[in-house]
Amino acid sequence: MEIYDTLIVEDEANIAEFHSHYITQTKRFRAVGIAQKVAEARTMIRLLKPKLVLLDNYLPDGKGIDLLKEITAMDNVPDVIFITAANDMETVREAVRCGVFDYLMKPISYDRLSDSLDRYLKYTSSLKASEHINQRHVDALFNFQSKSARLERLPKGIDELSLDKVTQAFDDQEACYTAETLGKDLGISKTTARRYLEYLLARGIVEAVIQHGRIGRPERVYKKVDNTSG
């Protein structure tokens, strides 16, 4: 399993540490360094040869967008996820022109970063799949660089990472949960668990039945809808 060395270019120490900690929690990415200036980033890219760079724009000795232009001319060009407070169209246009994999606005949403990293893995995997490609393959490659439509459609209070965890809890057709038991299994609050369960219920992924729990108290028990019958 390939591990992707990732360089973090960010001058705010607390944000850089958050990025590094988050990257460390993933199975496929490894934070290999933090650069707080353009000059440091330039040197570290040359020496460490990271596969991926999380690049801030506003740095003490210059702009990330200018470093990005240099990166595209290097021998071993790393992929770049641009993370910045810059919201002017010219910066966006330049970043796209330089071939960034993604462009994330500050303050960063880690669900959004997770989505970007997941698509990056699919993108790199698809690149290695075959030397000969067709139009469908090309379309898939470009789609991996588009923000997940599913993420856009999720209602407020429902994030993709947590939704995936809750959905996976029902991979076993026989699994059944109350909001309380699911919350304990996933390490989330009962209220949060109920919100996700009701979302899956509304989408027809699970069904709910009323059972009498402790001291006769009625509880909603959720289980996966059986789509194999009929």
Q: 131-147, pLDDT tens digit by residue?
A: 556 665 566 555 555 55
Q: Tell me, what's the pLDDT at 133?
A: 62
Computed over every residue of the chain, the mean pLDDT equals 84
Which pLDDT belongs to residue 101?
92
The yes-or-no verdict on residue 27 having pLDDT over 60 is: yes
Domain match, 201 and 133 both? no
112 pLDDT band (50/70/90 cuts)? confident
Give the count of domains, the chain.
2
Is 169 found in the same domain as 145?
no
Average pLDDT in the 122-137 region? Answer: 68
Question: pLDDT at residue 1 above 90?
Answer: no
Q: What is the pTM of this model?
A: 0.61
Same-domain status, 121 and 196 = no
On whether the CB atoms of residues 206 and 224 are closer than 8 A, the answer is yes
The answer on 72 and 15 residing in a single domain is yes
Q: What's the pLDDT band for 229 if we cut at 50, 70, 90?
A: very low
* Residue ending a domain, choose from 96, 124, 151: 151
Neighbours of 136 (CB within 10 A): 8
19 and 69 housed in the same domain: yes
How confident is the model over 18-31, as a mean pLDDT? 92
The verdict on 29 and 143 lying in the same domain is yes
104 and 218 both lie in a single domain? no
User: Are residues 105 and 34 part of one domain?
Assistant: yes
Q: Half-sphere exposure of residue 74, counting CA atoms within 13 Å on the CB side? A: 21
